[in-house]
Amino acid sequence: AEFPWLTDRAAALLDACHIDFDGDLGDQEDGATHRNLRTFTGSIVEDEQLLRDLCAEGLAYRYPDPDEAILERMEYEIEVLREKEFLAYFLVNWDITTYARSKGYFHVGRGSGANSLVAYLLRITDVDPIELDLYFERFINLYRSNPPDFDLDFSWTDRDDVTRYIFDRYEHVALLGAYNTFQYRAVVRELGKVFGLPKHEIDTLAGGRFNPARLGEVERAVVRYAGVLRDFPNQISIHACGILIANRPIHRTCATFLPPKGFPTTQYDMVVAEDLALHKFDILSQRGLAKIKDALDLIAETDPDAEIDIHDMKRFKADPRVQHLLREAEAIGCFYVESPAMRMLMRKLRVDDYLGLVAASSVIRPGVARSGMMKAYIERHRFPKRRGDAHPILLEIMPETYGVMVYQEDVIKVAHQFAGLDLGEADVLRRGMSGKFRSREEFQKARQAFFDKAADKGHAPDMVAEVWRQVESFAGYAFAKGHSASFAVESYQSLFLKAYWPLEYMTACINNFGGFYRTEFYIHEARLLGGRIAAPCVNTGGYLAGYDPATRTLTLGFNLVKGVEGETAVRIERERSHTGPYRDLEDLVRRTGIGLEQLLTVIRIGGLRWTGRSKQQLQWEAHFLLGHLPKQAPAADLFREAETAEHRTHLRTLPALEGGSGEDAYDEIELLGFPLSSPFGLLTVEAQRAANGALPARVLPEHIGREVTIAGYLVTVKETGTVKGDRMLFGCFVDREGQWIDTVHFPPVAKAYPFRGRGVYQMRGTVQEDFGCVNVEVKSMEKLDLQPDPRYDESAPTKVRPSGRQHRRVPQARRLPNAS
């Protein structure tokens, strides 16, 4: 080596270093049981007093006349929190949510934290654990050495500010790291590059499409090493929501790195953090809360006399309009209850109350469905005589859910009441079911205790084994009851807003890019609710969609338009609010400085339709005004009155310029991704004739068991696998009248008649009914043809283009964008 002394010095440096790292808590003072922030106020005694004072305030808000059971539960929880050293943990959550409320942010406290009465009193959650009979031990118990589980959801627009507040407010804070691990395809591609294999050979190996016996020595090595490296860490990233708040500098337990968000992040993941006795705060984001917040802001403008306490769940639960929306599953746009599967389940259950929705929110989970208990729950809910099918012991333990395990807490109930485990041991068993903790010693002990204590209670071995089978197959996929209840609270809030201010709420949905469905179908829902949909407009619209209650018009925002920059849209809106409406195209250009390309896009989407000129005339005028300028030139600075007068003279002599039929719809498809008019109107004459002959959704209940022809515009497709591993599909469509149709495509049909992207499909199949819910079992399917795009159709009339030359555009095939 050229500099051998460098290696000598490096070796000497390593010899001089001493690393003494132990994961136990021997380095903690005062016998602390964790490394989290120990006190909120600086004193454990003062922490407890502050918590008691806050609980007293919460009692007045939540329970004006609390009974003895509530007071005893509160006292018990405070004692456990003090003993487990989680007083500061609760106060930090209270501090975060209090800050959010002070800023006008909305939040949902969910997860097992909703099992806590203290959390309810501190307004961390809106779930009443007394009403729902939620076990506090599901959240924290004396047996639990692991940190508690608390999830705080904020709007996707507010979470970053809340995160910034946490870093500014507390001293020793870091985001939690996570590791992306190698999976087969990725590791094969990396190894293939290392070994110098050509791309086509790497693709073959990665796709698994090879005969092992015909592989060469290098290829066999790649496959062998891929098996060894599978699930090894590939790269470090950031946990989706975890934040650590420690009692000492984070660097005492690990190094950190700085990701693009700019917050220090640990180099260990959540499992290691728990082993080090650091619990995370989960700060999540979702669009549902932003929809509620934006809807309330819009309602304050359109209906200033409305008085809404969005946390008044007692009012929402008793509201007949909300009950109707639930019972009829008219929940498009509403949090967690709008998907085709959830709406179908709600129709089957005829849910119209809070506890029923809480159960449905968990019944929809794969654990219940895969165990076959979803059907059992529906039957026992709809037909009381079927409740006798339940095992007597399970029915006695879980009468609310008819002997069906629906929640994670049901595992605790069965373990506690059937097997005789105490509540702490039962929660260890429940927690172990999650999979990642199943191999741990504490879980294995709890499992053995289940069998031993059940036998001690006199249960037959066969019965114990069967109950254990049900517990084991179910628990890893279920929701905590508090988690389902938290989701149901947000569902009720959104349902209430939709029930009384439907178009304001749908405007908020559109501005937050919908939810389960594409934005197009929230616009469709707004139209069904009586709204008039208008394209973006420079004089009545803005960056976001707006709603005018006087005309029931919902004007879409320029944020949906491809090719219009957000800064430009905001500038158009701001200039109009300061100086008044735009008089004409020239006035728009002069006042905003908009460039030619974006101006043409604004014209094509209909943003200047109020001028009375056709799009073709406006585009010609735009070229006259700006076509001579360099692309980057600020139009407003180079605009001259003399040139304007000259342009006006030329424009007055232009020939009549009008667009052809259907051009607006195809402009909308190109710029918005969907037409604002009915897609059925874009079908060819032959296709329209076929669609007109199809049965509408509203009469399908009259044809149960009969074969029918239907036509629908594709909304979404869900793929699932059968027990045999075959591919099966569930479709969701809207018909010509705008009503929803659900379809089932069994494996042979799914293979023979695949979906081919967005568009209108004609289907033939048998009408099925299941617990009052109607769908069509498809036997054959055909995608209907659209009219040629008139903007590119060679057979279209000759038009005068802005260049002054007469020509037809180059023909180009047009299709609706592919389904997403």
pLDDT tens-digit series, residues 84-101? 888 999 999 999 999 999
DSSP string, 105-162: --EEEEGGGGG-HHHHHTTS----TTTTT--GGGT--TT--SPP--EEEEETTTHHHH
Distance CA 256, CA 271 (A): 16
Distance CA 435, CA 433 (A): 5
| pLDDT tens figures, 318-340 | 999 999 999 999 999 999 999 99
| pLDDT tens figures, 457-495 | 888 898 888 888 777 766 556 677 888 888 999 999 999
Q: Are 244 and 273 in contact (CB under 8 A)?
A: yes
Q: Which of the pair, 80 or 111, is modelled with greater confidence? A: 80
Which contacts of 352-358 are long-range, i.e. CB under 8 A and separated by 24 or more positions? 352/323, 352/324, 352/326, 352/327, 353/317, 353/323, 353/326, 354/313, 354/317, 354/488, 354/492, 355/132, 355/400, 356/381, 357/326, 357/488, 357/491, 357/492, 358/132, 358/481, 358/484, 358/485, 358/488
**Poorest-confidence range of 189-198, 459-468, 703-712?**
459-468
Quick check: helix, strand or coil at residue 740? strand
pLDDT recorded at residue 436? 54
CB neighbours of residue 768 within 10 Å: 16
Quick check: helix, strand or coil at residue 536? coil
pLDDT recorded at residue 503? 98
Q: Which of the pair, 518 or 446, is modelled with greater confidence? A: 518
Distance CA 691, CA 685 (A): 10
Distance CA 234, CA 189 (A): 13
CB neighbours of residue 143 within 10 Å: 15
**Poorest-confidence range of 12-16, 157-161, 612-616, 635-639?**
635-639
Distance CA 570, CA 298 (A): 18
pLDDT recorded at residue 801? 46
Q: What is the mean pLDDT of the chain?
A: 87
Q: ∠ at Cα 699 (697, 702), nearest 5°?
A: 130
Distance CA 253, CA 28 (A): 12
pLDDT recorded at residue 733? 98
Q: Which of 147, 160, 319 is nearest to 244 (CA)?
A: 147
Residue 271's pLDDT band (cuts 50, 70, 90): confident
**Poorest-confidence range of 263-272, 318-327, 653-662, 681-690?**
653-662
Distance CA 813, CA 71 (A): 71
Q: What is the mean pLDDT of residues 235-253?
A: 91
Q: What is the mean pLDDT of residues 108-114?
A: 81
| C-alpha count within 13 angstroms, C-beta hemisphere, residue 725 | 0
pLDDT recorded at residue 791? 83
Residue 346's pLDDT band (cuts 50, 70, 90): very high
Of 1.20.120, 1.10.10, 1.10.3470, 1.10.150, which CATH number belongs to 517-666?
A: 1.10.150
pLDDT recorded at residue 260? 87
CATH 3.40.50.300 for the 684-783 domain, yes or no? no
Q: What residues contact residue 761 under an 8 Å CB cut-off, 6+ apart? A: 711, 712, 714, 733, 755, 781, 782, 783, 784
Quick check: helix, strand or coil at residue 316? helix
pLDDT recorded at residue 426? 79
Q: Percent of the chain scored above 70 by pLDDT?
A: 86
Q: Which of the pair, 661 or 67, is modelled with greater confidence? A: 67
CB neighbours of residue 284 within 10 Å: 18
**Poorest-confidence range of 217-221, 485-489, 585-589, 658-662?**
658-662
Strand (E) or helix (H) holding 667: helix 663-672
Q: Percent of the chain scored above 90 by pLDDT?
A: 60
| pLDDT tens figures, 763-801 | 999 999 999 999 999 999 999 999 998 888 766 554 544
Distance CA 13, CA 405 (A): 60
| pLDDT tens figures, 594-631 | 999 999 999 999 999 999 999 999 999 999 888 766 65
Q: What is the mean pLDDT of residues 531-539?
A: 97
Residue 2's pLDDT band (cuts 50, 70, 90): confident
**Poorest-confidence range of 145-149, 518-522, 719-723?**
145-149
**Domain edges within the chain:** 33-140+158-171, 176-288, 309-365+479-500, 381-476, 517-666, 684-783
Q: What residues contact residue 725 under an 8 Å CB cut-off, 6+ apart? A: none
pLDDT recorded at residue 283? 94
Q: What is the mean pLDDT of residues 724-736?
A: 94
Distance CA 279, CA 263 (A): 18
pLDDT recorded at residue 657? 55
